């Protein structure tokens, strides 16, 4: 099912020569990236390599230069709101749940854009979300702020799914989760592509990311330094030294 840059199918996301600067300090130096329908693409790299910056730019939260094409259409000039309306969704590292609102309200707000565009039947989407995350149904009336870490991770994914995303970007979905819950979340993520959703997965936990993704990019100091099929990268000694094995191998 993996496809290396098959040009017959139109890419869901094609980023070309993306530059982002904070004031005078450049954070991204011409990053290019492609995600095909139903594909999970992981982006790995060290702290501060520019992974979060890249997602924020694709979402429109940060000003950027370069092309961002969604199914062939350049969306670089659109506002965040308009990108959401184009079914782009970002789950940021900071989660950004509505802590003081109920689980149900959080989910309903996930469907805000489709709703205002005339797709009023959010109840059905919500049932699909409950099918994936039965726990959320039990917690429906509870305030989001009172959920545990694992439940929050489910809510934030469920809320993103409410917008029926065609491109879903996940920034460190395992952050702060125990290994068991991390495994659970990753297995859910690998199922999300059933509906044809394309996923960009940014992770510190490089091994887990490479195991669920079809392809991967390595970002270092604002540049893509490697890309390829995830299985191949898992075997690559450079990746192994830098991101997978170093923690235990170099010690002592």
Partner 1 sequence: MDFGIFTFLLQDGLNSAAIYCLMAIAIILVFTTTRVLFVAQGDFLVLGALTLSQLQLGRVPGTVWILAGLALLAFAMEGAQALRERSRRRALRAVLFCLLVPALVGGGVAWFSGKELGLAIDILATIALVGPIGPLLYRIAFQPLADKSILVLMVVATAVHFVIISLSLIFFGAEGWRTPALTDAQFALGPVLISGQVIAIIVTSLLLIVVLFLFFSNSVYGKSLIATASNRVGARLMGISTAQSGMLSFAMASAIGCVSGILIGSITTIYYDTGLVLTLKGLIAAVFGGLASFPAAAAGAVILGLIESYSAFFASAYKEIILFSLLIPLLMWRFVLAGHQDLEEEA
Partner 2 sequence: MSRLVFAAAAIFALFAAPLVFSEHRIVLMNYVGIATLVATGLYLLTSIGGLISFGQAAFVGVGAYTTAYLATAHAMPAGLTLVIMLAVNFALALLVGAITLRLSGYYLSIATIAWGLGAYYLFGTLDMLGGHTGIGNIPGITVLGVSLTQARAFFYLEWSIVIAMMIAVHNLLHSREGRAVRALKSGGVMVSAMGIDIFRTRIAIFVAAAMLAAIAGWLFAYMQRFVSPAPFNLIASMEYLFMAVIGGTGSVVAALLGAGIVVALKDVLTNTLPKLLGSNVNIEALVFGVAVVAILQWSPGGLWSLARRVGGVLPALRTPDRSPSGGRTLPRKLRKDPGAELLSITNVGKRFAGLVAIDDVTMSVRAGEIVALIGPNGAGKTTLFNIITGVLKPSSGTVSFCGDQVSGRLPNRITELGISRTFQHVKLVPTMTTLENVALGTHLRGRAGFVAASLRAERAENAGMLGEAAAQIARVGLQGKEALSPTDLPLGDQRIVEIARALASDPYLLLLDEPAAGLRLTEKRALADLLRSLRAEGLGIVLVEHDMEFVMGLADRVVVMNFGRQIAEGTPADVQSDREVIRAYLGEEA
Contact positions vs partner 2 (CB under 8 A): 47-48, 145-146, 148-149, 175-179, 207, 234, 240, 244-252
CB 198 within 8 A of CB 36: yes
Q: Which does 105 bind (CB under 5 to 8 A by kind): partner 2, partner 1, none?
A: partner 1
In the complex, what is the shortest distance from the CB of residue 236 to partner 2, in angstroms, rounded to a whole number?
A: 12
Binders of partner 1 among residues 45 to 104 (CB under 8 A) are 59, 61, 77, 79-81, 84-85, 89-90, 92, 94, 96-101
Nearer to partner 1, 39 or 93 (CB): 93
Tokens, residue 121? 């039947």
Considering only CA atoms, give the Rg of the chain: 18
Question: 215 has which bridge partners?
Answer: 41, 229
Size of residue set near partner 1 by CB under 8 A: 30
Number of other residues whose CB lies within 10 A of the CB of residue 19: 16
CB 198 within 8 A of CB 37: yes
Q: Which does 72 bind (CB under 5 to 8 A by kind): partner 1, partner 2, none?
A: none
The C-alpha atoms of residue 117 and residue 219 are separated, in whole angstroms, by: 36
Binding mask 13-52 for partner 1 (x = CB under 8 A): ----------------------------------------
Q: Which does 223 bind (CB under 5 to 8 A by kind): partner 2, partner 1, none?
A: none
Tokens, residue 153? 């991770």
Number of other residues whose CB lies within 10 A of the CB of residue 166: 18
Binders of partner 1 among residues 137 to 166 (CB under 8 A) are 159, 163
The C-alpha atoms of residue 39 and residue 187 are separated, in whole angstroms, by: 15
CB 200 within 8 A of CB 188: no
- The site for partner 1 (CB under 8 A) is made up of 59, 61, 77, 79-81, 84-85, 89-90, 92, 94, 96-101, 105, 108-113, 115-116, 122, 159, 163
């Amino acid at each position: 099912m993996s496809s290396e840059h098959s040009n017959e199918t139109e890419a869901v996301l094609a980023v070309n020569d993306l530059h982002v600067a904070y004031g005078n300090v450049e954070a991204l130096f011409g990053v290019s990236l492609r995600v095909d329908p139903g594909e999970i693409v992981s982006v790995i790299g060290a702290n501060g390599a520019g992974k979060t910056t890249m997602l924020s730019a694709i979402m429109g939260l940060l000003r950027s230069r370069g092309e961002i094409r969604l199914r062939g259409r350049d969306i670089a000039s659109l506002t965040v709101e308009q990108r959401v309306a184009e079914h782009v969704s970002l789950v940021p590292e900071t989660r950004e749940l509505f802590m003081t609102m109920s689980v149900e309200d959080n989910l309903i707000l996930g469907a805000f854009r489709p709703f205002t565009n005339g797709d009023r039947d959010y109840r059905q989407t919500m049932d699909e979300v409950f099918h994936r995350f039965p726990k959320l149904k039990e917690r429906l009336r509870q305030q989001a702020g009172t959920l545990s870490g694992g439940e929050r991770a489910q809510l934030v994914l469920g809320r993103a799914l409410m917008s029926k995303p065609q491109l879903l970007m996940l920034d460190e979905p395992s952050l702060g989760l125990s290994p068991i819950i991390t495994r659970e979340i990753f297995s859910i993520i690998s199922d999300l592509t059933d509906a044809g959703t394309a996923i960009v997965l940014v992770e510190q936990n490089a091994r887990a990311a490479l195991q669920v993704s079809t392809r991967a990019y390595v970002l270092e100091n604002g540049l893509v330094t490697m890309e390829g099929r995830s299985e191949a990268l898992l075997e690559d000694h450079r990746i192994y030294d830098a991101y997978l094995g170093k923690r235990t191998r170099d010690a002592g």
